[in-house]
């Protein structure tokens, strides 16, 4: 059967039968099926946009650390909870928008897995109709745990069983990894099914696009500034092939890198020295890092691989650098040299130390 006719559900069943994550697991297959259903529902809510009157939008009381909640983000959170809590595959859920883990209601059976998710990444772009998405990660619960505590969610990213994101843009997509490659599914709205369209996605070794919020340049650490300067100057010396972009939507940036290559930077900055980063480790950075590594790329905090970070809090945030391996490893080497106290100067035969940024 041509791959374009393979539905999400069929692919998951066949992939697990081939030995993904230890063999066929009906619980995991059912959970992923619930996640694709949630993706369709959230995508439909996003697509309606302003067509829904404020009174028709479901609201709930949520606590988003550091920023006020947005109504559609609340709807997405509710959809994820309601779509996944009743299936019997989960014993706990953690949302990036809730202060504490969500307990599975008593009337539902418990399962062996825990779900972590960011219900609507890029929600600040909703009013201008840009791409947003839902990110998710699946972990096994510790042995014997049926009602996980916050500490039970504190597992490093290497222990993820599956990860993925749903993309809500011009077309709806679901991108997943079960630990053996990355696969993309496009929503066939007429059939109502996600269909395999991008099998075995691989990040190109070389990319000319850099995603970074250049307005924060005065607050970057020195290695980040050097890396961006090199990117800008090398682009000028190659007839302007390099470009800098920023959408402020992690799923949109990562999806472009999966298809075109390049680098995404959401680094730590010096505005708040107590804040180590801006990306939610468990619900955003870990699942995205698993996808990127499975697609042949690299994901780092700038100093260590994201998947090797041992979390110490359920809402821990980290810097995030991801994309083509050579670029990510080069930036890691810059951080290592900077931490050793080595001078961090970039010189170009054409521009010397000048760039589009004022450094002094």
Instruction: Tell me the DSSP string of 149-194.
Output: -GGGG---GGGEEEEEEEEESSSEEEEEESSS-EEEEEEETTTTEE
SS3 135: strand
User: What backbone phi and psi angles, to 5 degrees, belong to 278?
Assistant: -125, -5
Instruction: Give me 360's structure tokens.
Output: 């002094």
Instruction: Give me 229's structure tokens.
Output: 């300067």
Mean pLDDT estimate for the chain = 86
- DSSP string covering 315-331, please? T-EE-EEEESHHHHHHH
> Which of 19-23, 34-38, 64-68, 275-279 has the largest mean confidence?
34-38
pLDDT at position 270, please?
82
d(CA 360, CA 77): 45
- DSSP string covering 73-114, please? HHHHHHHHHHHHTTSSSEEEEEETTSSSPBPPPTTS---SEE
pLDDT grade for 224, boundaries at 50, 70 and 90: very high
pLDDT at position 276, please?
84
Q: What is the mean pLDDT of residues 344-354?
A: 55
At residue 58, does pLDDT exceed 50? no
pLDDT at position 253, please?
95
Q: What is the mean pLDDT of residues 302-321?
A: 96
Specify burial of residue 164 (Cβ count, 10 A radius: 0-12, 13-18, 19+): buried
pLDDT at position 20, please?
54
- pLDDT above 90 as % of the chain: 66
pLDDT grade for 269, boundaries at 50, 70 and 90: confident
Say which range, 91-105, 215-229, 260-274, 316-330, has the weakest mean pLDDT.
260-274
SS3 210: strand
pLDDT grade for 68, boundaries at 50, 70 and 90: low
CA 162 → CA 20, 263, 291, 321, distances in Å? 10, 23, 9, 21
**Sequence ranges of the chain with CATH classification 3.40.190.80:** 209-339
Which residue has tokens 């890198």?
A: 257
pTM here? 0.88
- Which comes out higher in pLDDT, residue 135 or 70? 135
How remote is the C-alpha of 82 from its chain's centroid? 22
pLDDT in tens, 1-18: 444 579 999 999 888 887
pLDDT at position 271, please?
82
CATH 3.40.50.970 fits 209-339, yes or no: no
SS3 235: helix
Reading across the β-sheet that carries 209-211, which strands appear in turn? 243-245, 209-211, 263-266, 320-323, 298-300
d(CA 316, CA 283): 10
Q: Which letter does DSSP use for residue 46 in this model? A: H
At residue 112, does pLDDT exceed 50? yes
SS3 264: strand
pLDDT at position 358, please?
54
pLDDT grade for 124, boundaries at 50, 70 and 90: confident
At residue 63, does pLDDT exceed 60? no
CB-facing half-sphere around the CA of 313: CA atoms within 13 A: 8
**35 closest CA partner among 111, 119, 107, 103:** 119
User: What backbone phi and psi angles, to 5 degrees, belong to 185?
Assistant: -125, 130
Question: Given 3.30.540.10, 3.90.1530.10, 1.20.1440.230, 3.90.245.10, which CATH number is that of 3-198?
Answer: 3.30.540.10
**Sequence ranges of the chain with CATH classification 3.30.540.10:** 3-198
At residue 171, does pLDDT exceed 50? yes
């Amino acid at each position: 059967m041509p791959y374009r006719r393979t539905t999400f559900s069929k692919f998951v069943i066949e992939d697990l039968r081939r030995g993904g994550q230890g063999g066929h697991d009906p619980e995991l297959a059912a959970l992923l099926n619930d996640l694709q259903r949630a993706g369709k529902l959230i995508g439909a809510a996003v697509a309606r946009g302003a067509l829904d009157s404020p009174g028709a939008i479901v609201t709930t009381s949520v606590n988003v650390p550091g920023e006020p909640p947005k109504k559609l983000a609340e709807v997405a959170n509710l959809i994820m909870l309601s779509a996944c809590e009743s299936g019997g595959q989960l014993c706990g859920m953690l949302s990036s928008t809730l202060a504490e883990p969500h307990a599975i209601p008593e009337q539902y059976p418990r399962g062996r897995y825990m779900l972590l998710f960011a219900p609507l990444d890029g929600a600040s772009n909703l009013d201008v109709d840009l791409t947003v998405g839902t990110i998710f990660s699946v972990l096994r619960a510790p042995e014997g745990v049926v009602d996980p505590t916050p500490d039970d969610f504190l597992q490093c990213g290497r222990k993820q069983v599956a990860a993925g994101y749903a993309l809500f843009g011009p077309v709806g997509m679901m991108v997943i990894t079960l630990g053996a490659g990355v696969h993309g599914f496009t929503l066939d709205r007429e059939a109502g099914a996600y269909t395999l369209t991008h099998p075995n996605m691989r990040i190109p070794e070389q990319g000319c696009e850099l995603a970074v919020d250049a307005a924060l340049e005065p607050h970057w650490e020195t290695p980040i500034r050097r890396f961006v300067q090199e990117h800008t100057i090398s682009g000028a010396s190659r007839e302007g092939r390099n470009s800098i972009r920023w959408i402020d939507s992690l799923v949109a940036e990562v999806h472009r890198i999966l298809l075109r290559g390049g680098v995404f930077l959401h680094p730590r900055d010096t505005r708040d020295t107590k804040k180590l980063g801006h990306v939610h480790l468990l619900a955003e950075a870990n699942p995205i890092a698993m996808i990127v590594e499975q697609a042949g790329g690299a994901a780092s905090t700038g100093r260590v691989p994201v998947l090797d970070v041992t979390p110490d809090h359920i809402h821990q945030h980290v810097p995030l650098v991801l994309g083509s391996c050579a670029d990510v490893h080069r930036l890691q080497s810059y951080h290592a040299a900077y931490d050793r106290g080595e001078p961090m100067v970039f010189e170009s035969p054409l521009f010397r130390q000048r760039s589009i940024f004022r450094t002094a």
